[in-house]
């Protein structure tokens, strides 16, 4: 086992391999910065190039490009409120407000460091899990998916303390939007108004582009001035301060990485959920004085550590069963087969060194990506002091292209525009957009797994009879009661962080 | 007597002359078509987002189609309505021979028979260029279930749950085919899993007894011993699973046989390349010839094999015949059941 661990590292560090990794990381970052191009698309684009490479080189090239795609996407999320992929959507919630405060550098530094640390944690958890990988994947069924996503919904409470009515309204509106489209249980088409575009439901990328990028740019134009409100980058804005904060908050990073890993291990829950779960968790436990959604650094660190850790988790079912944990992993599976490796028992027994080299690749690629981005961060942060009337039109164009690229459909552009109008209204009148997105992401998953569980286990008995489900169920109840406890035990009898409510994300 | 012989000889001469003339015209037309395509842009429609298997098949073919047609080939992803939007677009495009696309027969054919909402295409009218590959389907159960073989399962009295994705997916139609094709009232199809691979896991976990899905997507798990194959949907046994019987080895008749046949055709002709209906004959011929050349190019075959994508060419005319046969003997009970959910 230990031999294989080092043999794996040697594979990655041997000469041409490491060069392919560097090239892969740079391409992955560059493509990741372009909105709408996420991990799976990057892999599909790069696959033809990999044909001409050697086996291990090809795998290194593809895996490192894929692993760091999200890292690039977080930069645009923070600077302009344009998420590179659905996975980066949660980073917008607090990252962009930080950029408005002139702390873009700090936010990017924190995001990159959190990504790198999360990625490394994810990779090594994967390594630690290798012996128990197969039983672990099999212990999660729709009942556990259900409780995980319900737990996500309980985070709505954390995000809506204070002005809970408005936040609850937006959360429910988000749930309502998640019901649009063809549901998978009976094939009924809901709220589609005869439009085939709506059969697939309201998609996350155009929705988030609308809610944040469009709404924020319109607001920026209305207010005048630059993204950094004071027209200058604040002294707290350096990327180094952001990096240091990540290491100070190692426990938050660890917890959020675990959330990411669990979601990654479970195929079919969707990677986007991981970041929102982590974000919700961060909101619940933050000790920063800023409110969540108004530029709290924890709101950047939490989702960023989860989304790179998730990739390590997603490798678990891919390696163990040849069942991809995400869309990107499906393409990676093709690459594995291409170099003549069959996922499943073989990769866990006779080819263990290759399996460990995958772990090292993910870890090293994440660190490299963070280093590369740090070099360019100070110059990128300067974009936030450009006057809005010059910057906003350009950003809007990029945002709409991002919405379009996510599935090459004009419907997505229209969707981004309409939701953008809704988003501006919500911002104006203080309705939380974070809870809206949480509702939108989780609604479908909760519904689907609820019906699946009820049919598989023939009734709601599974809540008690399945061990993991029961533990998660109890946890959900505790999370719901948590604010009450906190209020009782905090010294002045009120909740310090959330006392003025969540008019945030204005 | 002599007269008759002379007459026959004349007739023969005439006929052969006519045939020769037709052939000559055809040759000329083909050249004409080749001239038409040179420098033009062929749009290859993919009915899903980039990155999926439809997309990869379309992109694999680009350099070869470009080489043999002399045209530029551009992939266009039109996703929406579970693929319906893209297939509608292939059907409605201008019949100038510059729009092609790839689609799956499973799902689309059943949706058309049911008359599902939003379908503008008619599979009977498409111009079929070729079959890309077959995709034999297999019925698998978990390794811990008591069913050693298919006869065990047929005798079972207890409830048998099968996993499937949404009601328009092939896994759902496959599971229904088991239920109705063998008249198993105790089969309960559980819909709502996210994809075929998700259904695999559901079987391994023991959420459900089994599922129906492609052999290619399950072979790995079958070899690892996690899934047990009971029966395959194919006209003859599948080389990958030689010891597994086909569904036709259990003596089904009448509508039940039609149900099994319909699903088998969808897996025998799984992925096809089509062009818009109503394209002039010489262009169809040209496209068919160039597609055949591309699909038989050893480089393409090597590329596809490396990536684990099967290529198994059959001419477009055979696809056309099979589709006609399928629509001539519709699986009535299955359609009635599908009508409830489509």
DSSP secondary structure letters along B251-308: ---HHHHHHHHHHHHHHHT-EEEEE-TT--HHHHHHHHHHHHHHHT-HHHHHHHHHHT
Cα–Cα distance measured from residue B331 to residue B173, given in angstroms and rounded to the nearest whole number: 11
Tell whether the model's pLDDT for residue A482 goes beyond 80: no
Is residue A496 one of the residues assigned to a domain? no
A196 touches chain B (CB under 8 A): yes
Is residue A506 one of the residues assigned to a domain? no
Cα–Cα distance measured from residue B151 to residue B154, given in angstroms and rounded to the nearest whole number: 5
The minimal CB distance from A187 to the residues B85, B166, B190 is found for: B166
> How remote is the C-alpha of B175 from its chain's centroid?
18
The minimal CB distance from A338 to the residues B192, B221, B308 is found for: B308
In this prediction, residue A499 carries a pLDDT of 39
pLDDT band at A425 (very low <50, low <70, confident <90, very high): very high
In this prediction, residue A423 carries a pLDDT of 93
* Residue whose structure tokens are 């909402």: B117
Closest chain B CA to residue A339: B306
Cα–Cα distance measured from residue A469 to residue A463, given in angstroms and rounded to the nearest whole number: 6
> Hey, of A193, A317, A455, A468, which one would you mutate to test binding to chain B, going by the most B CBs within 10 A of its CB?
A455
A105 touches chain B (CB under 8 A): no
Tell whether the model's pLDDT for residue B309 goes beyond 50: yes
Task: Print the domain residue range for A43.
Answer: 2-381+388-489
Neighbours of A232 (CB within 10 A): 12
Across B224-232, average pLDDT: 94
B81 touches chain A (CB under 8 A): yes
Tokens encoding B274: 């089509």
In this prediction, residue A63 carries a pLDDT of 85
Number of domains in chain A: 1
B204 touches chain A (CB under 8 A): yes
In this prediction, residue A444 carries a pLDDT of 84
Across B209-222, average pLDDT: 90
Contact between B231 and B263 under an 8 Å Cβ cutoff? The reply is no
Contact between A148 and A450 under an 8 Å Cβ cutoff? The reply is no
Cα–Cα distance measured from residue A90 to residue A92, given in angstroms and rounded to the nearest whole number: 5
Each residue of B103-112: pLDDT tens digit?
988 888 888 9
In this prediction, residue B75 carries a pLDDT of 86
The alpha-carbon gap from A139 to the nearest alpha carbon of chain B, in Å, equals 7
Tell whether the model's pLDDT for residue A162 goes beyond 70: no
B82 to A456: CB separation less than 8 angstroms, yes or no: no
Cα–Cα distance measured from residue A306 to residue A260, given in angstroms and rounded to the nearest whole number: 4
The alpha-carbon gap from B235 to the nearest alpha carbon of chain A, in Å, equals 28
Residues of B in contact with A185 (CB under 8 A): 191-192
Each residue of B117-176: pLDDT tens digit?
888 899 999 999 999 998 899 999 999 999 999 999 999 999 999 999 888 788 999 999
Tokens encoding A269: 């829950």
Higher pLDDT, A482 or A24: A24
Q: Which helix (H) or strand (E) holds B44?
A: strand B41-46
In this prediction, residue B21 carries a pLDDT of 47
Is residue A48 one of the residues assigned to a domain? yes
Tell whether the model's pLDDT for residue B216 goes beyond 50: yes
Task: Look at residues B202, B176, B102, B196 and name the one whose alpha carbon lies nearest to residue B332.
Answer: B176
Is residue A15 one of the residues assigned to a domain? yes
Cα–Cα distance measured from residue A205 to residue A87, given in angstroms and rounded to the nearest whole number: 9
Across A326-350, average pLDDT: 72
Q: Which helix (H) or strand (E) holds B103?
A: strand B99-104
Cα–Cα distance measured from residue A347 to residue A333, given in angstroms and rounded to the nearest whole number: 12
B158 touches chain A (CB under 8 A): no
Burial (Cβ within 10 Å: 0-12, 13-18, ≥19) of residue B324? exposed
B198 to A451: CB separation less than 8 angstroms, yes or no: no
In this prediction, residue A501 carries a pLDDT of 40
pLDDT band at A236 (very low <50, low <70, confident <90, very high): low
The minimal CB distance from B306 to the residues A196, A338, A345 is found for: A338
The minimal CB distance from A345 to the residues B50, B165, B224 is found for: B224
In this prediction, residue B14 carries a pLDDT of 60
Which A-chain residues 7-66 have CB contacts (< 8 A) with chain B?
Answer: 40-41, 43-44, 47-48, 51
Tell whether the model's pLDDT for residue B40 goes beyond 50: yes
Q: How many CB pairs under 8 A join A and B?
A: 137
The minimal CB distance from B201 to the residues A43, A184, A267 is found for: A267
Higher pLDDT, B53 or A500: B53
Contact between B312 and B132 under an 8 Å Cβ cutoff? The reply is yes
Domains of chain B plus CATH, in order, are 29-134+269-339 (3.40.190.150), 137-266 (3.40.190.10)
Q: Is A114 left (phi over 0), alpha (psi -120 to 50) or beta?
A: alpha
Cα–Cα distance measured from residue B103 to residue B127, given in angstroms and rounded to the nearest whole number: 12
In this prediction, residue B130 carries a pLDDT of 94
Tell whether the model's pLDDT for residue A503 goes beyond 50: no
Across A362-375, average pLDDT: 87
Q: A261 — phi, psi (to 5°)?
A: -65, -45
A267 to B165: CB separation less than 8 angstroms, yes or no: no
Percent of chain B's residues with pLDDT above 90: 52
Cα–Cα distance measured from residue A323 to residue B221, given in angstroms and rounded to the nearest whole number: 9
Cα–Cα distance measured from residue B175 to residue A49, given in angstroms and rounded to the nearest whole number: 39
A344 to B221: CB separation less than 8 angstroms, yes or no: yes
Which A-chain residues 116-155 have CB contacts (< 8 A) with chain B?
Answer: 137-138, 141-142
- What are the angstrom distances between the C-alpha of A451 and each of A10, A142, A460, B172, B210? 48, 9, 10, 16, 18
Burial (Cβ within 10 Å: 0-12, 13-18, ≥19) of residue A72? buried
Tell whether the model's pLDDT for residue A302 goes beyond 50: yes
Per-position DSSP letters for A293-323, written without gaps between them: TSS-THHHHHHHHHHHHHHHHHHHHHHHHS-
Task: Look at residues A285, A280, A370, A371 and name the one whose alpha carbon lies nearest to residue A94.
Answer: A280
Count of all residues that appear for chain A in the document:
506
Contact between A43 and A62 under an 8 Å Cβ cutoff? The reply is yes
Tell whether the model's pLDDT for residue A143 goes beyond 60: yes
Which B-chain residues 6-65 have CB contacts (< 8 A) with chain A?
Answer: 49-51, 55-56, 59
Which A-chain residues 61-100 have CB contacts (< 8 A) with chain B?
Answer: none
Cα–Cα distance measured from residue A100 to residue A78, given in angstroms and rounded to the nearest whole number: 9
pLDDT band at A132 (very low <50, low <70, confident <90, very high): confident
Closest chain B CA to residue A55: B306
Q: Which residues contact B232 (CB under 8 A, 6 or more apart)?
A: B136, B137, B138, B139, B215, B238, B241, B244, B245, B246, B247
A268 to B195: CB separation less than 8 angstroms, yes or no: yes
B318 touches chain A (CB under 8 A): no
B307 to A334: CB separation less than 8 angstroms, yes or no: yes
Query: pLDDT averaged over chain A?
Result: 82
In this prediction, residue B288 carries a pLDDT of 94
Q: B272 — phi, psi (to 5°)?
A: -130, 155
Task: Look at residues B22, B23, B39, B30 and name the one whose alpha carbon lies nearest to residue B286.
Answer: B30
Which A-chain residues 332-371 have CB contacts (< 8 A) with chain B?
Answer: 334-335, 337-338, 342-345
Closest chain A CA to residue B119: A196
Higher pLDDT, A418 or B30: A418
A141 to B303: CB separation less than 8 angstroms, yes or no: no
Contact between A273 and A448 under an 8 Å Cβ cutoff? The reply is no
A456 to B84: CB separation less than 8 angstroms, yes or no: no
A408 touches chain B (CB under 8 A): yes
Tell whether the model's pLDDT for residue A7 goes beyond 60: yes
Closest chain B CA to residue A39: B51
B207 to A200: CB separation less than 8 angstroms, yes or no: no
Strand partners, A181: A190
B197 to A323: CB separation less than 8 angstroms, yes or no: yes
Count of all residues that appear for chain B in the document:
342
A454 touches chain B (CB under 8 A): no
Classify strands B137-142 and B210-214 as parallel, antiparallel or unpaired: antiparallel
Percent of chain A's residues with pLDDT above 70: 88
- What are the angstrom distances between the C-alpha of A453 and each of A6, A183, A473, B209, B282? 42, 16, 14, 15, 56
Q: Which residues contact A299 (CB under 8 A, 6 or more apart)?
A: A93, A94, A95, A279, A282, A283, A286, A292, A293
Closest chain B CA to residue A456: B207
pLDDT band at A204 (very low <50, low <70, confident <90, very high): confident
The minimal CB distance from B197 to the residues A138, A324, A406 is found for: A324
In this prediction, residue A494 carries a pLDDT of 44
Cα–Cα distance measured from residue A183 to residue A191, given in angstroms and rounded to the nearest whole number: 11
In this prediction, residue B306 carries a pLDDT of 72
Contact between B275 and B97 under an 8 Å Cβ cutoff? The reply is yes
Quick check: ipTM above 0.90? no
**Three-state DSSP class for residue A409:** coil
Cα–Cα distance measured from residue A98 to residue B54, given in angstroms and rounded to the nearest whole number: 42
Higher pLDDT, A348 or A364: A364
The minimal CB distance from A197 to the residues B51, B80, B192 is found for: B80
Cα–Cα distance measured from residue A442 to residue A457, given in angstroms and rounded to the nearest whole number: 22
Across A194-212, average pLDDT: 84
Query: pLDDT averaged over chain B?
Result: 87
Worst-scoring range by mean pLDDT, A28-42, A100-114, B54-68? A28-42
In this prediction, residue A347 carries a pLDDT of 76
């Amino acid at each position: 086992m230990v031999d294989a661990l080092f043999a794996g590292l040697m594979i990655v560090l041997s000469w041409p391999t490491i060069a392919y990794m560097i090239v892969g990381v740079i391409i992955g970052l560059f493509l990741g910065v372009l909105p709408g191009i996420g991990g799976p698309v990057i892999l599909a684009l790069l696959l033809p190039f990999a044909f001409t490479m050697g086996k291990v080189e090809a795998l290194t090239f593809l895996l490192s490009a894929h692993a760091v795609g999200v890292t690039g996407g977080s930069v645009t999320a923070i600077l302009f409120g344009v998420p590179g992929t659905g996975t980066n959507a949660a980073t917008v919630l607090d990252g962009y407000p930080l950029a408005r405060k002139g702390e873009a550098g700090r936010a990017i530094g924190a995001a990159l460091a959190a990504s790198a640390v999360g990625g490394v944690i994810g990779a090594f958890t994967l390594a630690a899990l290798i012996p128990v990988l197969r039983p672990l994947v099999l212990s999660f069924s729709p009942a556990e998916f259900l409780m995980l996503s319900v737990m996500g919904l309980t985070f709505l409470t954390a995000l809506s303390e204070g002005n809970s009515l408005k936040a609850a309204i937006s959360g429910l509106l988000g749930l309502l939007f998640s019901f649009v489209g063809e549901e998978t249980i009976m094939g009924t088409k809901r709220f589609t108004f005869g439009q085939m575009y709506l059969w697939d439901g309201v998609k996350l990328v155009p929705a988030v582009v609308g809610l944040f990028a469009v709404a924020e740019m319109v607001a920026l134009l209305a207010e005048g001035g630059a993204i950094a409100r004071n027209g200058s980058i604040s002294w707290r804005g350096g990327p180094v301060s952001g990096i240091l904060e990540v290491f100070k908050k190692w426990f938050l990073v660890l917890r959020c990485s675990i959330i990411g890993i669990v979601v990654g291990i479970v195929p079919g829950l969707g990677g986007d959920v991981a970041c929102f779960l982590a974000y919700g968790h961060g909101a619940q436990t933050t000790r920063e004085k800023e409110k969540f959604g108004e530029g709290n650094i924890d709101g950047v660190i939490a989702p960023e550590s989860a989304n790179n850790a998730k990739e390590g988790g997603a490798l678990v079912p891919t390696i163990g069963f040849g069942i991809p944990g995400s869309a990107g992993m499906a393409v990676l599976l093709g690459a594995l087969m291409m170099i003549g490796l069959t996922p499943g028992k073989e990769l866990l027994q006779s080819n263990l060194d290759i399996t460990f080299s995958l772990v090292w690749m993910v870890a090293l690629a994440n660190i490299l990506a963070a280093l590369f981005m740090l070099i360019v961060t100070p110059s990128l942060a300067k974009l936030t002091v450009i006057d809005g009337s010059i910057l906003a039109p350009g950003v809007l164009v990029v945002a709409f292209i991002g919405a379009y690229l996510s599935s090459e459909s004009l419907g997505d552009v229209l969707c981004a525009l309409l939701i953008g109008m809704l988003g501006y209204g919500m911002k104006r009148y203080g309705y939380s957009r974070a809870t809206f997105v949480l509702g939108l992401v989780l609604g479908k998953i909760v519904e689907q797994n609820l019906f699946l569980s009820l049919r598989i286990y023939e009734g709601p008995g599974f809540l008690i009879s399945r061990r993991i489900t029961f533990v998660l169920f109890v946890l959900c109840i505790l999370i719901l009661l948590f604010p009450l406890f906190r209020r009782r035990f905090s010294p002045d009898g009120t909740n310090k962080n959330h006392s003025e409510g969540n008019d945030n994300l204005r | 007597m002599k007269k008759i012989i002379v007459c026959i000889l004349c007739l023969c001469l005439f006929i052969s002359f006519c045939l020769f003339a037709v052939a000559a015209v055809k040759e000329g037309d083909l050249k004409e078509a080749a001239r038409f395509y040179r420098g033009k842009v062929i749009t290859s429609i993919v009915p899903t987002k980039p990155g999926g298997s439809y997309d990869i098949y379309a992109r694999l073919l680009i350099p070869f189609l470009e080489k043999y047609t002399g045209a530029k080939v551009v992939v266009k992803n039109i996703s929406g309505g579970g693929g319906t939007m893209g297939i509608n677009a292939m059907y409605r495009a201008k019949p100038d021979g510059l729009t092609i696309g790839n689609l799956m027969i499973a799902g689309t054919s059943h949706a058309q028979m049911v008359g599902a909402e939003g379908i503008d295409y008619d599979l009977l009218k498409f111009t079929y260029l070729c079959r890309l590959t077959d995709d034999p389907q297999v019925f698998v159960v978990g390794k811990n279930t008591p069913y050693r073989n298919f006869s065990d399962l047929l005798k079972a009295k207890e409830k048998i749950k099968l996993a499937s994705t949404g009601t328009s997916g092939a896994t759902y139609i496959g599971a229904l085919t088991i239920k109705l094709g063998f008249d198993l009232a105790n089969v309960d199809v559980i819909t709502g899993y996210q994809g075929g691979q998700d259904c695999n896991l559901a079987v391994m976990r023991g959420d459900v007894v089994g599922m129906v899905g492609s052999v290619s997507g399950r072979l790995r798990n079958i070899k690892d011993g996690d899934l047990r194959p009971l029966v395959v949907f194919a006209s003859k046994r599948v080389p990958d699973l030689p010891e597994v019987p086909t569904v036709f080895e259990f003596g089904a008749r009448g509508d039940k046989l039609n149900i099994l046949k319909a699903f088998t055709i969808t897996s025998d002709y799984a992925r096809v390349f089509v062009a818009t209906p109503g394209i002039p004959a010489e262009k169809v011929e040209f496209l068919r010839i160039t597609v055949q050349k591309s699909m038989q190019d050893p480089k393409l075959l090597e590329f596809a094999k490396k990536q684990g994508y099967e290529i198994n060419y059959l001419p477009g005319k055979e696809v056309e015949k099979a589709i006609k046969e399928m629509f001539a003997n519709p699986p009535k009970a299955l359609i009635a059941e599908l009508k409830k959910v489509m």
